[in-house]
Chain A
Amino acid sequence: MKKKQLLLFLRTLNARAYVRIFGQMREATWVVASVLGGFFTMTTYVYLYRTLGTGSEFSGLVVLGGFMTPFFLNVLWGVATQLYWEKEMGNLELMLVSPAPLSAFLVGLSVGGAMHTMLRSLAVLFFGIAVFKVRFAVLHLPLALLVFLVTLFSMYGLGIVFSSLFLYHGRDAWRTADLVMEPTNVLSGTYFPARFLGVGLLGIAALIPTTLGLDALRQLLVPSFTVKVLDWRWELLILAGLGLVFALIASWALRSVEYKARRDARLTLRWQ
């Protein structure tokens, strides 16, 4: 990549990330509502576990799941569906005639999305710790941060892969995202240890980066957590591998789907 191209990529990334970070802060109700929504979901599962009479360590698992859920939702609705929404609002054609690469828009969207979601996730985590008196081990905090960042890299890579599909498809892809959102969230072990899924379902769930990422985080932050899927080191390696694979697929898919969408005149096709 030439210096000029790299500069353009970085400028585009910065511009898109800026809008995502600061635009989302302008309306206080958005932040409050998303934090409250995450908190209520977490509360539901904490009390459910209390009803079931499981150990207190399950509250810690649920709080960590609640911390990761906003990222999962941001990947699905803020990255994967974004090109679809840009198309519906009429911005996509402007983006495509500009010299800025489409991939830079999406990477910027991911970086900005991850940063603004971080604030909400930290708020959910804070409330979870404060209200449910959950304690985490901080001995491995730097390693946990590394696992978290690799998980985000992998998750947002998957989001960019799906954004290509959304670029070509319309309401059918949106409906599909709506359909798979809850089952995917459940299968990734957000609110229970993923090992209980059994080998078959776990094999599918492992393709969702949140599954192994959460399992590794639980091993590092919840000392009494014993029902792990794999050792966290292996999970970190798999997540890094998944992230790279998703990045490669995303780069290829974006080019080929953009070409196909141009050829089939679907880039400006709205409300379909």
Chain B
Amino acid sequence: MNGAEFVALSLPPILIGVFAAIACAVPGNFLLLRRQALIGDAISHVALPGIVVAFLITGAVTTWPMMLGAAGAAIIAVVLIELIRRLGRIEVGAAMGVVFTTMFTAGVLLLEQSDTSSVHLDVEHALYGNLESLIWLDATGWTSLADPAALAGLPPELPRMAVVALLVGLLTLLLWRPLTISTFDEGFARAAGLPVTAIGLLLVIMAAVAAVAAFDAVGSIIVIAMFICPPAAARMMTNRLDHQMGWSIGFATVSALSGYVLAGYGPLWLGFDNSISAAGMIAVMSGLILAIAARFGPCRARVAGS
């Protein structure tokens, strides 16, 4: 494959995959330590009804209404989970299970009932995205990267995902200390005067934004995998949160790169002419990294030294 083809066909999806992976992995570190790892799972399921409702209202597959719809659905889900947990005195895992399965179901039903045959919106797309189709038709080679006219033809998911990844990163840097303190010792954080509840909510919102943006570009399967696998693997490597953050970003990048390359070129190397799902392959790669870290990572055991 020459440069022109690579820049046009593979570079945008690779970059989108990497940005999506990083945007999810960064808040994932805190969610993992707070035992809220499955929030990402819940959010990516409830995004579906949000997106469908947004589509039914606007009648078109446009970005911002859909992002708003998904974010709104995520907030409704979090509120419902809290309601069921507090008022119904139901354990949080079960409350989550009730809410996200029902909302996902409602999304599926709405989708099947409404006429979406004319647009590219279906359950399979929602689950595993269409990373491979996010190509850059205007590119003619590496020089296009410096050509404003060609850059305008970039798939819109790329700049959006980059901005979201950057925002998530900046916010995490800015709020590093309060986030860390309230994650490790909520009582101390409260005593020190930090708005613990607001910080918790902000983290969930940050995760929701990352999830929704990534969901739109690459499907929910990567979102769930990237929220959990890279931070979990990083957790096996170190006892320091800043190092863990670094490891997780590295693992997320490696999973996205290797997953995309294996999915796109792997079958060709084996002599088949069809590529396989990149989203699925990225999730598998992150799982492979987690498996290796869980087996050999220096800090894999629960108690140090045992």
Instruction: Say whether A associates with B.
Output: no
Q: Which residues of A approach B to under 8 Å, CB–CB?
A: none
